[in-house]
Protein backbone atom coordinates (compact mmCIF):
# COMPACT_ATOMS: atom_id res chain seq x y z
CA UNK A 1 0.00 0.00 0.00
CA UNK A 2 1.39 3.41 -0.98
CA UNK A 3 1.70 6.36 1.37
CA UNK A 4 -1.10 8.04 -0.58
CA UNK A 5 -3.36 5.01 -0.05
CA UNK A 6 -2.53 4.97 3.67
CA UNK A 7 -3.28 8.69 3.97
CA UNK A 8 -6.56 8.29 2.11
CA UNK A 9 -7.57 5.36 4.36
CA UNK A 10 -6.65 7.37 7.48
CA UNK A 11 -8.64 10.39 6.26
CA UNK A 12 -11.67 8.24 5.41
CA UNK A 13 -11.61 6.62 8.86
CA UNK A 14 -11.17 9.95 10.70
CA UNK A 15 -13.82 11.68 8.60
CA UNK A 16 -16.35 8.96 9.39
CA UNK A 17 -15.52 8.94 13.11
CA UNK A 18 -15.74 12.75 13.42
CA UNK A 19 -18.94 12.88 11.41
CA UNK A 20 -20.57 10.20 13.58
CA UNK A 21 -19.47 11.88 16.82
CA UNK A 22 -20.07 15.54 15.89
CA UNK A 23 -21.95 15.62 12.55
CA UNK A 24 -19.27 17.70 10.83
CA UNK A 25 -16.73 17.55 8.03
CA UNK A 26 -13.36 19.30 8.39
CA UNK A 27 -10.27 20.16 6.33
CA UNK A 28 -7.62 17.41 6.38
CA UNK A 29 -5.37 19.23 8.89
CA UNK A 30 -8.14 19.39 11.46
CA UNK A 31 -8.47 15.59 11.34
CA UNK A 32 -4.76 15.22 12.07
CA UNK A 33 -4.04 18.06 14.52
CA UNK A 34 -5.65 17.98 17.96
CA UNK A 35 -6.96 21.51 18.71
CA UNK A 36 -6.08 21.31 22.41
CA UNK A 37 -2.54 20.04 21.68
CA UNK A 38 -2.00 22.94 19.27
CA UNK A 39 -3.15 25.41 21.94
CA UNK A 40 -0.82 23.84 24.53
CA UNK A 41 2.10 23.97 22.06
CA UNK A 42 1.42 27.70 21.60
CA UNK A 43 1.45 28.21 25.39
CA UNK A 44 -2.26 29.07 25.59
CA UNK A 45 -4.22 28.48 28.79
CA UNK A 46 -5.59 25.16 30.01
CA UNK A 47 -8.67 23.96 28.17
CA UNK A 48 -8.19 26.35 25.23
CA UNK A 49 -8.50 24.98 21.69
CA UNK A 50 -7.52 26.40 18.30
CA UNK A 51 -8.29 24.90 14.91
CA UNK A 52 -5.39 23.90 12.69
CA UNK A 53 -6.62 26.32 10.00
CA UNK A 54 -6.07 29.31 12.32
CA UNK A 55 -2.99 31.48 11.78
CA UNK A 56 -0.98 32.79 14.73
CA UNK A 57 1.76 35.42 14.27
CA UNK A 58 3.99 37.08 16.84
CA UNK A 59 3.31 37.35 20.56
CA UNK A 60 -0.17 35.97 21.24
CA UNK A 61 -1.32 35.12 24.76
CA UNK A 62 -4.63 33.35 25.35
CA UNK A 63 -6.24 32.48 28.67
CA UNK A 64 -7.96 29.28 29.72
CA UNK A 65 -11.06 27.62 28.26
CA UNK A 66 -11.13 29.82 25.15
CA UNK A 67 -12.37 28.48 21.81
CA UNK A 68 -10.67 29.73 18.65
CA UNK A 69 -12.51 28.68 15.52
CA UNK A 70 -11.39 27.78 12.03
CA UNK A 71 -9.85 30.26 9.59
CA UNK A 72 -8.99 32.80 12.31
CA UNK A 73 -6.05 35.23 12.05
CA UNK A 74 -4.37 36.21 15.33
CA UNK A 75 -1.73 38.87 14.65
CA UNK A 76 0.44 39.33 17.72
CA UNK A 77 3.23 41.25 15.98
CA UNK A 78 2.42 44.22 18.25
CA UNK A 79 1.19 42.06 21.14
CA UNK A 80 -2.19 40.34 21.42
CA UNK A 81 -3.91 39.13 24.58
CA UNK A 82 -7.18 37.18 24.70
CA UNK A 83 -8.75 36.38 28.08
CA UNK A 84 -10.42 33.35 29.63
CA UNK A 85 -13.61 31.70 28.35
CA UNK A 86 -13.84 33.62 25.11
CA UNK A 87 -15.36 32.46 21.85
CA UNK A 88 -13.47 33.63 18.76
CA UNK A 89 -15.70 32.56 15.86
CA UNK A 90 -14.79 31.32 12.40
CA UNK A 91 -13.06 33.80 10.12
CA UNK A 92 -12.27 36.38 12.81
CA UNK A 93 -9.20 38.56 12.20
CA UNK A 94 -7.55 40.32 15.14
CA UNK A 95 -4.64 42.64 14.36
CA UNK A 96 -1.93 44.40 16.37
CA UNK A 97 -0.28 46.11 13.42
CA UNK A 98 -1.15 47.72 10.12
CA UNK A 99 0.69 48.85 7.02
CA UNK A 100 -1.48 51.83 6.02
CA UNK A 101 1.18 54.55 6.44
CA UNK A 102 3.85 52.28 4.96
CA UNK A 103 1.76 51.58 1.84
CA UNK A 104 0.47 55.12 1.31
CA UNK A 105 3.97 56.58 1.74
CA UNK A 106 5.46 54.29 -0.86
CA UNK A 107 7.35 52.43 1.85
CA UNK A 108 8.94 55.54 3.41
CA UNK A 109 6.95 55.26 6.68
CA UNK A 110 7.24 52.25 9.00
CA UNK A 111 4.56 49.72 9.87
CA UNK A 112 2.53 50.76 12.92
CA UNK A 113 2.15 48.47 15.95
CA UNK A 114 -0.10 48.68 19.02
CA UNK A 115 -1.12 46.01 21.53
CA UNK A 116 -4.63 44.61 21.14
CA UNK A 117 -6.58 43.11 24.06
CA UNK A 118 -9.72 40.99 24.22
CA UNK A 119 -10.97 40.73 27.80
CA UNK A 120 -12.40 37.73 29.64
CA UNK A 121 -15.76 36.15 28.71
CA UNK A 122 -16.05 37.83 25.29
CA UNK A 123 -17.82 36.64 22.17
CA UNK A 124 -16.46 37.69 18.77
CA UNK A 125 -18.86 36.80 15.95
CA UNK A 126 -17.95 35.22 12.62
CA UNK A 127 -15.83 37.27 10.21
CA UNK A 128 -15.40 40.20 12.60
CA UNK A 129 -12.21 42.26 12.19
CA UNK A 130 -10.60 43.95 15.19
CA UNK A 131 -8.01 46.62 14.36
CA UNK A 132 -4.67 47.22 16.04
CA UNK A 133 -4.64 48.87 19.44
CA UNK A 134 -8.27 48.07 20.30
CA UNK A 135 -9.26 46.92 23.79
CA UNK A 136 -12.45 44.86 24.08
CA UNK A 137 -13.71 44.91 27.67
CA UNK A 138 -14.73 41.87 29.71
CA UNK A 139 -18.07 40.34 28.74
CA UNK A 140 -18.39 42.24 25.46
CA UNK A 141 -20.11 40.86 22.36
CA UNK A 142 -18.91 41.72 18.85
CA UNK A 143 -21.50 40.98 16.15
CA UNK A 144 -20.79 39.00 13.00
CA UNK A 145 -19.09 40.84 10.11
CA UNK A 146 -18.23 43.83 12.33
CA UNK A 147 -15.23 46.12 11.88
CA UNK A 148 -13.99 47.20 15.32
CA UNK A 149 -11.84 50.33 15.09
CA UNK A 150 -12.15 51.64 18.65
CA UNK A 151 -12.32 50.32 22.20
CA UNK A 152 -15.40 48.39 23.32
CA UNK A 153 -16.64 48.92 26.88
CA UNK A 154 -17.04 45.96 29.26
CA UNK A 155 -20.39 44.25 28.71
CA UNK A 156 -21.14 46.24 25.54
CA UNK A 157 -22.84 44.76 22.48
CA UNK A 158 -21.51 46.21 19.23
CA UNK A 159 -21.95 45.45 15.56
CA UNK A 160 -21.64 46.86 12.07
CA UNK A 161 -19.02 48.51 9.92
CA UNK A 162 -17.71 50.40 11.71
CA UNK A 163 -18.92 48.72 14.92
CA UNK A 164 -21.39 50.76 16.99
CA UNK A 165 -23.35 50.01 20.17
CA UNK A 166 -26.41 47.78 19.69
CA UNK A 167 -29.60 47.46 21.72
CA UNK A 168 -31.12 49.72 24.38
CA UNK A 169 -29.70 53.19 24.61
CA UNK A 170 -28.50 53.31 21.01
CA UNK A 171 -28.86 56.71 19.39
**121 noted as active-site residue:** no
| % pLDDT > 90, the chain | 87
Tens of pLDDT, residue by residue over 48-59, are 999 999 999 999
Segment (H or E) for 59? strand 55-62
pTM of this structure? 0.91
The confidence band for 168, taking pLDDT boundaries of 50, 70 and 90, is low
Q: Is the pLDDT of residue 32 over 90?
A: no
The average pLDDT across 28-55 equals 95
Of the candidates 19, 97, 120, 121, the residue annotated as catalytic is: 97
Q: Rounded to a whole number, what is the largest CA-CA distance in the chain?
A: 67
For the stretch 118-160, pLDDT in tens is 999 999 999 999 999 999 999 999 999 999 999 999 999 999 9
Give the model's pLDDT for residue 158.
98
| Cis peptide bond N-terminal to 162, omega within 30 | yes
Q: Looking at residue 171, what is its pLDDT?
A: 42
> Mean pLDDT over residues 59-71, rounded?
98
Amino acid sequence: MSLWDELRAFWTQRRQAIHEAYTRTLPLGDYVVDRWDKARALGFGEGTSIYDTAYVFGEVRVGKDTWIGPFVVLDGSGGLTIGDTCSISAGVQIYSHDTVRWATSGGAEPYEYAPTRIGHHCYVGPNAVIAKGVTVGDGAVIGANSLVLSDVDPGARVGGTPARPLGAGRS
